[in-house]
Structure 1
């Protein structure tokens, strides 16, 4: 099976500009393609993971990826999918974030000589002279047409800044620059980038008279349409300092039954034949499939050793024999206690397991909190400082969330 059919069979492809030509390029030629990543945070997150998997599949098939770090476009901010203008970042912050992205991408992509490239569009966007850019590039864009794109239509009611309106031109210029300098003929991106990709294809055609192509891939969503990669505490990051390998493992271990096979296809390199066999599993067997998913995804991002540690810790927890070495944890101080005790709602808030005391009370009333396997039945229940003499307590929220709480001396 060629890479085009592989991507289709895994459910990765959403839209293409010319399916017949793209199939021919990917199956019979060696092409250079690119995906852009705007460094708007100091870590990639689960939403970027699928893009990296597509790049890895393509590279394994002999194609050459270019990862574009958007040091220039990030100074403007993509309005796509946003109800408000993005916060402006300093050049220093953007550069720091870009450096963080580089280290994480190397987990999946081989950037050795000739295998792949990593470029920063700040190198060609920041030196541009504005009037020249408008005359050479802006003249090819119709404002009327741009306003028909969903990424702009959804923002018009709340306000679309002029700086954001330039984003499509800048991303389109990236494609033109990469075509001219690297003979890059294919841009990939999430399905929310379709309009920006079309803008680049049209610009290359208008300036050079040549045809280039675009392909988008499926957004990572649950079966009911919600974006994946969010938890109560925020995004699921690829940086182990922001989301620990254990928390990362647990996120995938706890996906809905309806999503596990889709995630195995999209986010692992397991053979499709093996995944199709797992698709026949039912009932408790689905938990085994979820563990396979969690292990494989954690191994890709954090390495085999961390994946094994996370799996062993999760197995111990669900077997009620928790060592908790790799569990997410919070350390309290004596100042958090009053008369040698801390109320359970306060403990839950300190641990980041709830956002308010009201949420804590509702959770306790519903029987959703246990301390060291003892269910908390009253909102006035407290944990004594003396209970930490063994080193920690284990808080269980619902059926699947475990948290270690320690007390400093």
Structure 2
């Protein structure tokens, strides 16, 4: 199956320039996708483009991942209603290094002729003067052409308008394509469907400047079945960096997708062959409550992003919170992993010195913290057997807790009922 056919059956293909598939079918081609380092981590919204590059390489072509050290300084207006804050060079450099490390996990940089390559557009823009740019690039693309782009029209019609900085973005990206076409034999630029205007500016610039031919392909922008934005949760974006989104919460994000979305996502975000996916779907339809689709999706993508060990911990974390794994499991987690496990649950802080002297259960849960709104309610729930500290039922309201009970010398886990958890941090 060729690259275009692969994207098509997976439901990823959006728009393709005429002649692109014929060019790809002639033999190994080079193509690229750009990633602007606006943060120090990629998020799940970037995974569609990462998967596109993976499929491109698996089809025998040579992928380039462009990190935008230069374009990151400008800001892409596509899909934006307001201008982005410009980043300092120090922050941008830090972000670049982090994004490069993440991209390196997914592509094969040692596969011979079609080995992946990483490029940074700052390398060819750092010595490009403004006068050279407007002479060598600006004269080839008319203002009329630039203003006809949807990303520009929407901003000009809005209240905020558009700065000259953002207006020039499509020229900067167009020159990226020209540079890679000229120096790396890169005939194809790919991206999300919101990038079509910028990509086509590149193909047009190549044609007008050197009479060359280049091609464009875009993928679908992923949305949930209900129309809401993919990759966002109540706590914000789902990041690939485990320090920003814990592997447990990353795993849960995929596990909690709806049946309709899981059917789409398993095609887009895994490398399973068509027959394997159809078999998983059939298994899911036999017993939807077993969530075979979601489990296969969550397992595959968690392992590829975070590794087998992180996946195993995510499974154990789920069983700890909702099953029968005991408190001893938490000793396997470091502080960051433990905090990640309890991300989104109420956190309280108590004094290490006070805990060393001993605090009784009612004081701990109703005075030193707000697990219960009153001592009376705490006492009543304890007597009814509905509370626990570190997964052990509190025997009586007068039971005393000390620093000896702390997990990792820092944490207590309180439970009210089976599913209501509270993290108590001793400082």
- Could you state the TM-score of these two structures normalised by the residue count of structure 1? 0.83
Aligned-residue offset at 1:315: 3.8
Provide the C-alpha distance between the structure 2 equivalents of 1:170 and 1:270, rounded to a whole number of angstroms. 37
1:59 maps to which of 44, 57, 60: 57
Q: Work out which of the residue numbers 318, 332, 342 in structure 1 matches 2:369.
A: 342
Looking at structure 2, the residues matched to 386 and 256 of structure 1 have their Cα atoms a distance apart, in angstroms, of 42
CA–CA distance in structure 2, aligned partners of residues 261 and 186 of structure 1: 29
Contact 2:348/2:369, CA 8 A, preserved across alignment: no
| Native 8 Å contact 1:85 1:160 kept in 2 | yes
Residue segments in structure 2 that go unaligned for 5+ positions in a row: 331-336, 353-363, 374-385, 390-398
For 1:41-56, what aligned pairs fall within 5 Å after superposition? 41-56=39-54
Q: 1:24 aligns with which of 22, 25, 30?
A: 22
TM superposition shift of 1:385:
9.2
Query: 1:139 deviation in Å?
Result: 1.5
Q: Does 2:321 match 1:317?
A: yes
Q: Verify: 1:140 aligned to 2:140, yes or no.
A: yes
Q: Contact (CA 8 Å) 1:229, 1:236: kept in 2 or not?
A: yes
Answer yes or no: is the 8 Å Cα contact 1:261–1:278 preserved in 2.
Answer: no
What secondary structure does 2:15 align onto? strand
Query: Can you list the C-alpha shifts for 1:296-344, whole angstroms capped at 9, x where unaligned?
Result: 0101101122112212322443335465635523664316989743224
Structure 2 CA distance, aligned partners of 1:134 and 1:239? 39
Instruction: Kindly name which structure, 1 or 2, has the bigger radius of gyration based on alpha carbons.
Output: 2
Aligned to 1:208: 210
- Does the 8 Å contact 2:30/2:63 carry over to 1? yes
Match in the other structure for 1:405: 423
Provide the rounded CA distance (Å) in 2 between the counterparts of 1:398 and 1:269: 37
Q: Greater CA deviation, 44-53 or 284-293?
A: 284-293
SS in 2 for 1:342: coil
Q: 2:80 maps to what in 1?
A: 82
CA deviations over 1:189-216 (Å, ceiling 9, x no partner)? 0111011001001001111112110000
* Cα offsets for 1:347-395 (capped at 9, x unmatched): xxxxxxxxxxxxxxxxxxxxxxx9769xxxxxxxxxx995994753266
How far off its partner does 1:125 sit?
A: 1.5
State how far apart, in whole Å, the 2-side matches of 1:215 and 1:244 are.
33
Q: What is the count of residue pairs matched by the alignment?
A: 372
**Cα root mean square deviation, aligned:** 2.9
Q: Secondary structure at the match of 2:424?
A: strand
Matches within 5 A, 1:159-198: 159-198=161-200
- 1:98 equivalent in structure 2: 96
> Which residue is 1:297 aligned to?
301
Change (3 A) 1:390 1:96: closer
Find the residue that maps to 2:186 and give its secondary structure: coil
**CA distance in 1 between partners of 2:185 and 2:210 (Å):** 12
Q: Does the 8 Å CA contact 1:291/1:311 hold for their aligned counterparts?
A: no
State the distance in 2 between where 1:397 and 1:204 align: 65
What pairs with 1:251-262 in structure 2 (closer than 5 Å)? 251-262=253-264
- The answer to whether structure 1 residue 306 and structure 2 residue 310 are counterparts is yes
Following the alignment from structure 1 to structure 2, what is the Cα–Cα distance between the partners of residues 30 and 285? 45
**Aligned-partner Cα distance in 2 for 1:35–1:257:** 30
What secondary structure is seen at the aligned counterpart in 2 of 1:314?
Answer: helix
Residue in structure 2 matched with residue 351 of structure 1 by the alignment:
none
Aligned to 2:15: 15
Determine if contact 2:316/2:325 at 8 Å carries over to the other structure: no
Residues 183 and 285 of structure 1, relative CA distance in 2, 3 Å threshold: same
C-alpha displacement at 1:7, in angstroms?
A: 1.3
Distance (Å, rounded) in 2 between the aligned partners of 1:234 and 1:345: 28
Q: Give the CA deviation at 1:284.
A: 2.8
How many angstroms does 1:148 deviate by?
2.5
- Say whether 1:329 aligns with 2:329: no
Scaled by the length of structure 2, what TM-score is found?
Answer: 0.80
